[in-house]
Structure 1
Amino acid sequence: MTSTTTTFVAGAVAAARGRTVRQTAVRASTTRPGLLLLQSKAFYSSSSQPDPRYDSPINGPLSTLPAHLDLPPPRKPGESVLGYYFKIGKGYLSFYKTGLKNAAWVNPRLAGPVMARWREDRGYAGMVQNKWITRSDLQLLKRNQHDFRRIPFFAVLFTICGEFTPFVVALFSNIVPITCRIPTQIQSDRKKREQRIKASFEAFLPSTSINRPVEGLDKLTWKEKVHCSTVVGRHSGLWPSRILPLPFGFVLHKRLSRYEVYLATDDMLIAKGGGVMKLSPPELEVACVDRGIRVLGKSEQQLRADLQRWLTDSKKGVTIWERWLALPTS
């Protein structure tokens, strides 16, 4: 690791302690949260240009997604092996630096005003009632909170491994901020999630629970709660839930309850922002994964149809629990 990289990581950890958030929160009354998507573009990797078709507050700030990973083309005959892999290492190093910068400094800075208003309105209900929040604001809060907790651990990992970080993140995927997840890692995580869902249907969830109508969370059995949590990743896949009961069942219940509120809010803001056709392809995939919709092997058109079906079911009053207990047909 170079001294420059070490200095950068130290600065990232310092920013992760919340200094920037506290400084920015005092300006909450003068910043329009709906403009955060546009503001964040100035801090995003210059090598990745946003698509003007999806320039809408329905999409989260670009800085909350993984940065552009710029790798060299396949090695040409006669090209130096050492030089080629040096370019690859340089590409990954730049990627992780940008991701850490966004997670530790850019996103907390953008989230400060939104968080101040969130506290003032006392959560989702107040924000929705006052009608100022956009889906971009909601996703900024959610992703910033997710990444903020992981910065110190990942910064240590990055300091130790440097350019070799891609080789070890597979072992510690859960501690990696969203902004620092490489494409192969994202695909691997989604594949594991879908395998867990399939295994839950086949070997864990009782047959009497499949496709049964459920009015609410309180009507779920313990196994049904664990299954629903598996569908949307509310507990670690490392826990052998089919063998040992999850400890602190009330914690899982609380997580599912909060997630229900989040999805209801997100559904409403997608509709308010213009519908599924306004979502960019990366945001479309994230929205589907958030709802337990399978994404691997599907085209963009199929994903938009699946998400639209979800929103239609929400309007019809079909509970999320019924949808997660329904055996997937595709």
Structure 2
Amino acid sequence: MSARSYLSSALSSSLRPRCQSGRKVNCDLRISSSFGPNQPAIFISWKSIPTRNYASPANEKRSVRASSQPVQKSDPTTSTTTTTTTTPSSTSEVNAPLSTLPVKLDVPAPAASDATPIDQFKRYIALGRAYYSFYKTGLKNVYHNYKASIPLRRSLGLPTYLPTSYPPATQTSSSQDDKTPSFFSAARGLGFTRADIQLVRRAAYDVRRMIPFTLILLICGETTPFIVLALGNAVTPATCRVPRQVEKEREAKLKRKNAAIAAHQAAVQGSMAPVAVGSKEELAILVDQYADVGFANTASAEEVLRACAVFGLAKTHTRPSALVPVVYRPRLRRWVQYLELDDRLIKQGGGVKAMSADEVRIAVEERGGVGAGGDGRNDWKAEMEERKWLEKWFERRRVD
């Protein structure tokens, strides 16, 4: 083999790794032969070397970021772990984004009966970490939900950074027209759906509880679940409520509702017979009286308190009557306006059949139907009962 051939072979071998790595160099390599003054120089152009178009690390990172951006009206996905936030978007017109609901709480399995004290201690540590991660994820969702609701709040004329809910408070009194302001026409004119309005309402509700709950989480750390169960929903965002807390609050709502309905029956009909949960008699009281704006404007103070207890707007129906004109009557009036708006948005979005199981339960409980699906059941039978109850509500409500 001649020296020139040997040099050419060596250069080709040294340049092959560069070609395979995908690097592109826009210059020519000039190597002069030293075998003699009359020998021609060797010219190797890197442009002529075939290369493959590999994505650089910078391009790869850029493409990942672009693909991870939320797409308008895309399906939100909730991770089964408690360390991933959800995108506050929904393809459904009637179902709120999944980020407004609590994520799944993954707790360690119970310790065996023969577990050592060290193993039990480790499980408690893992349990505390699971709750802490659950709460942290819930707070992240609160932040992202409110951030996503800011453009909607501006369109609705609500304060951007003052977490008020929609519909806003009105100055309607008993001497004025009983008709509710057409919040539905305003929302429909803007092209808003129930999913949009629910995002605005739930984000504002959670933000009002975010600061005190965050302080509790920072101070108490892994013991936060015990503090939260004692304080209840007053300081806990909806995205941070564990299943036991939700069930405990549902039981309390059912007791308050039964007591208020019993007081109504005794005062109006003089009957002490209890009204069955989910019955036609109970539905008639809820739809024809408590959910009517005229009732909210003209009912007695005692009846207003009973209606507030049924809808979860008061802890008990035995509050002082002096608070009704300044607190509970405006609160009931605003709630009735919200129910009218929500009813129309549900019908516009496809009705009860288009709603998810979680949204059906929330809608039933907001209308005073807590307990319609049974005592603490979460199976498909409970869902069917709640759907039937909500269908009956719309049949009696006669939403336009």
1:315 aligned onto 2:398: yes
Change (3 A) 1:118 1:203: same
**Which runs of structure 2 are paired with 1:216-231 in the superposition (5 Å)?**
216=294, 217-231=296-310
Higher relative contact order (CA 8 A, sep 6+): 1
Q: Assess if the C-alpha contact under 8 Å between 2:105 and 2:134 holds in 1.
A: yes
- What is the match of residue 225 of structure 2? 166
Q: CA deviation at 1:47?
A: 3.1
**Which runs of structure 2 are paired with 1:1-330 in the superposition (5 Å)?**
35=72, 38=74, 41=76, 44-45=78-79, 47=81, 56-79=92-115, 80-103=119-142, 105-119=143-157, 124-130=183-189, 132-173=191-232, 174-203=234-263, 206-208=266-268, 214=289, 216=294, 217-235=296-314, 237=315, 241-242=317-318, 244-247=320-323, 249-295=325-371, 296-297=374-375, 299-315=382-398
Please give the secondary structure, in 2, of the residue aligned with 1:293: coil
User: What amino acid sits opposite 1:184 in the alignment?
Assistant: R
Q: CA deviation at 1:277?
A: 1.8
Q: Assess if the C-alpha contact under 8 Å between 1:150 and 1:175 holds in 2.
A: yes
Q: Distance in 1 between matches of 2:104 and 2:351?
A: 26
- 1:296-327 Cα offsets, whole Å, 9 max, x none, are 4261100000011111111179xxxxxxxxxx
Structure 2 unaligned regions, length at least 5? 1-70, 159-165, 169-182, 271-283
Q: Distance in 2 between matches of 1:315 and 1:131?
A: 24
Change (3 A) 1:251 1:107: same
Q: Distance in 1 between matches of 2:122 and 2:383?
A: 37
**Would you tell me which structure has more helix in proportion to its own residues?**
1
Q: CA deviation at 1:90?
A: 1.3
Change (3 A) 1:308 1:243: closer
Q: CA deviation at 1:248?
A: 5.1
Structure 1 unaligned regions, length at least 5? 1-33, 318-330
- 1:213-242 Cα offsets, whole Å, 9 max, x none, are 65622231111111111111113x1xx652
Q: Assess if the C-alpha contact under 8 Å between 1:45 and 1:98 holds in 2.
A: no
TM-score, length-normalised on structure 1? 0.74
Aligned length: 274
Q: Assess if the C-alpha contact under 8 Å between 2:107 and 2:130 holds in 1.
A: yes
Q: CA deviation at 1:209?
A: 6.2
